[in-house]
Structure 1
Amino acid sequence: MTINPEWQIQKPKKSVLEWLLNGDPAIRWQVMRDLTEETDDRVAAERSRIATEGWGARVLELQSSKGNWGGDADARNWLCTSYTLLLLKDLGLDPLGEEARRSIGLVRDHIIWPQQMGGLPYFDGETEPCVNGWILGVGAYFGEASDRLVDRLLGEQLEDGGWNCDAPKSRRSSFHSTICILEGLLEYEKAKGETVAVTEARIRGQEYLLERRMLRSLSSGEVIDPNWTSFSFPTTWHYDLLRGLDYLRSAGVEPDERVAEAVGMVAKKQDQNGRWPLENPHSDRVHFDMEGVEVEPSRWNTLRALRVLAWYSTRANA
């Protein structure tokens, strides 16, 4: 496979790496692991700071004694709590650390879904596949993986390979639902080991995205949603190209020509300073702004874009 001649992948500038490393511990440890290839000990030491410094510490401090985030209003649907747990996973909070065990213990011991949402303990999930994808991923990451939830999600996979929160009314999959569940299944496999059923379901879901070149209608070839070419963080339930490609990288998928267009769209967003902007920030509640305003350089987007380009470039030049 060759690199698309219309754009070129270059190694990150030293100034960009320095800028990333001047960010929050949640950024720094991932840069050290994925881009500068520091030793495991140094990466772990940096990661341990998330629980007591910066964004991670702020998020943990906002949890109530009942286990939830967002106050009494959120206790009726737990969306803010679910977004927050997903964020803690994305930050890379050490799941074995004292702070994480205390926080996850409060969720496990106190939160039960309302009866209209299934009435199960939090980590066994509720009724919507996309939310259950986050819960499965968070639970697996923090040592609370639910086999019951996996079985449910596998039973809800649609014929085209993906998932949709509007099923069975809709038999056509949703990119949004599918990426949430793929991330959850991947985290489950990392925690519990691969099984034939989970791996096959995840590969079918990946193929759903790849067959559509990560953003195009299978029938018309048109871009399904122009917003998917704008990159946001936190993503919560929203799909975009950068999220989809970063999932493929994390899953160790060998890139082929079906991702070339999408990777090119990511590469072309890089500014003259080697950074990527924050775009299309979502209104979902995440407590506080981690970065600047829209169009300003984003460490989150820059980190994720650089590792996606490195993933594609390494295999493209193999």
Structure 2
Amino acid sequence: MTGMVEPALLDWLLDTDPALRWQVERDLAGAPEEVWSATRARVATEGFGARLLALQDDDGQWAGGAFFPQDFHGETPEEPGQPWTATTWSLNALREWGLDPAALAGTAEKLAEHSRWEYDGSAYWGGEVDCCINGWTLANGAWLGADVSGIARWFVEHQTDEGGWNCEWENGSVRSSFHSTLNALKGVLAYEAATGGDDELRAARHAAEEYLLSRRLLHRATTGEVVGPWTTWFAYPFRSVYTALNATDWFRSAALHDAVPPDPRIAEAVGVVRGARQADGRWLQGRRYPGRVWFDVDVPPGEPSPWLTFYGTRVLAWWDEAAARD
């Protein structure tokens, strides 16, 4: 892919924290494994990764809570939005940044002993009722070596007739959700990649993919309208929000995992990603999701975002490279 990225843009992307740089080296610069793996190893000792590791509590948690900080009791005018500092969000970040799980040795056991879901006090690695939370816990557990096979089974048992998932199922919803389905898919694919999965879970993943693909990643099945304006509001970190960029990047990962070419039904969503690229090849930070953070890892809204530029460039390079082979 190196020839598909302008040298100046590539240099800009490489001049970043190790958490991003190693991925640029691997996926865009074509660096040999010994180069990008050496950069990846620095995530534990430098920059964002080292800062977040240093904030871990003695009991294995972050901010004293599983999904919410211990001192959070709901949104207020003084503290709007979902806090992003508790254990699940911190693990998500470290895993997505490529931290070697050896740097968190003992954490899975500590969380099993000390961490409980705020919803009902159930054990951390047993999962929750929210499919987004379960998706992240499935991925994090597989990464850290915890037994999360029960959560994997939960996804097979709680899939809707449409093929996806919905975090509102407990309140009676029988429809699938774009947001929930993508977050669940991320967890299922991460679990498959780490453990091999099984045929039932793989079939559930493919059915959920079809739910999104049949809607071209953007549209309601009933009216054909774009499912929501949030599909084009690109922001990093992605958090739990479905966007065309978040979805197409995941479909890239799934296609590479399955060793299949891009599905042509994502073409329109790829076009949305391409349309957001600026003349200089960069993508702008669109927004910041409100809520407490440990520290900022990307630029303010309106500025060129290295993270979004990496993801956008990676998606387009994958798509265009496949098209060139056809």
- TM-score, normalised by the number of residues in structure 2: 0.88
Q: Which residue of 1 aligns with 2:14?
A: 21
Query: Secondary structure in 1 aligned to 2:141?
Result: helix
Q: Which residue of 2 aligns with 1:112?
A: 116
Give the distance between the partners of 1:173 and 1:239, measured in 2 at CA: 13
Q: Which residue of 1 aligns with 2:80?
A: none
Give the distance between the partners of 1:40 and 1:135, measured in 2 at CA: 28
Give the distance between the partners of 1:74 and 1:100, measured in 2 at CA: 20
Relative to 1, partners in 2 of residues 1:151 and 1:76: Cα closer, same or farther, differing over 3 Å?
A: farther
Q: Which residue of 2 aligns with 1:269?
A: 276
Aligned-pair identity (%): 40
Structure 2: where are the runs of 5+ without partners?
A: 73-82
Q: Which residue of 2 aligns with 1:238?
A: 241
Give the distance between the partners of 1:42 and 1:68, measured in 2 at CA: 32
Across the aligned residues of Structure 1 and Structure 2, the Cα RMSD in angstroms comes to: 1.9
How far does residue 161 in structure 1 lie from its aligned partner after superposition? 0.5
Relative to 1, partners in 2 of residues 1:288 and 1:17: Cα closer, same or farther, differing over 3 Å?
A: same
Is residue 206 of structure 1 aligned with residue 209 of structure 2? yes
Q: Which residue of 2 aligns with 1:293?
A: 300
Higher mean alpha-carbon deviation, 42-51 vs 103-112, is at: 103-112
Q: Which residue of 2 aligns with 1:74?
A: 69
Q: Where in structure 2 are the equivalents of 1:130-169 lying within 5 Å?
A: 130-168=132-170, 169=172
Higher mean alpha-carbon deviation, 149-158 vs 103-112, is at: 103-112
> CA contact under 8 A between 1:129 and 1:164: conserved in structure 2?
yes
> CA contact under 8 A between 2:185 and 2:205: conserved in structure 1?
yes
Deviations 1:139-167 (A, max 9, x none): 11222241111111110000000000111
Instruction: Point out which structure has higher relative CO (alpha carbons under 8 A, 6+ apart).
Output: 1
Count of aligned pairs: 305
Relative to 1, partners in 2 of residues 1:306 and 1:200: Cα closer, same or farther, differing over 3 Å?
A: same
Give the distance between the partners of 1:145 and 1:220, measured in 2 at CA: 42
**Letter of the 2:222 counterpart:** S
**Letter of the 1:112 counterpart:** R
Structure 1: where are the runs of 5+ without partners?
A: 1-9
**Letter of the 2:8 counterpart:** S
Runs ≥4 in structure 1, deviation > 4 angstroms? 76-79, 102-105
Higher mean alpha-carbon deviation, 85-94 vs 101-110, is at: 101-110
Give the distance between the partners of 2:53 and 2:315, measured in 1 at CA: 29
Give the distance between the partners of 1:29 and 1:102, measured in 2 at CA: 25
Residue 91 (structure 2) aligned to one of 85, 106, 114 = 85
Q: Which residue of 2 aligns with 1:256?
A: 263
- TM-score, normalised by the number of residues in structure 1: 0.90
Give the distance between the partners of 1:250 and 1:243, measured in 2 at CA: 11
How far does residue 105 in structure 1 lie from its aligned partner after superposition? 4.5
Query: Secondary structure in 2 aligned to 1:42?
Result: helix
Q: Which residue of 1 aligns with 2:290?
A: 283
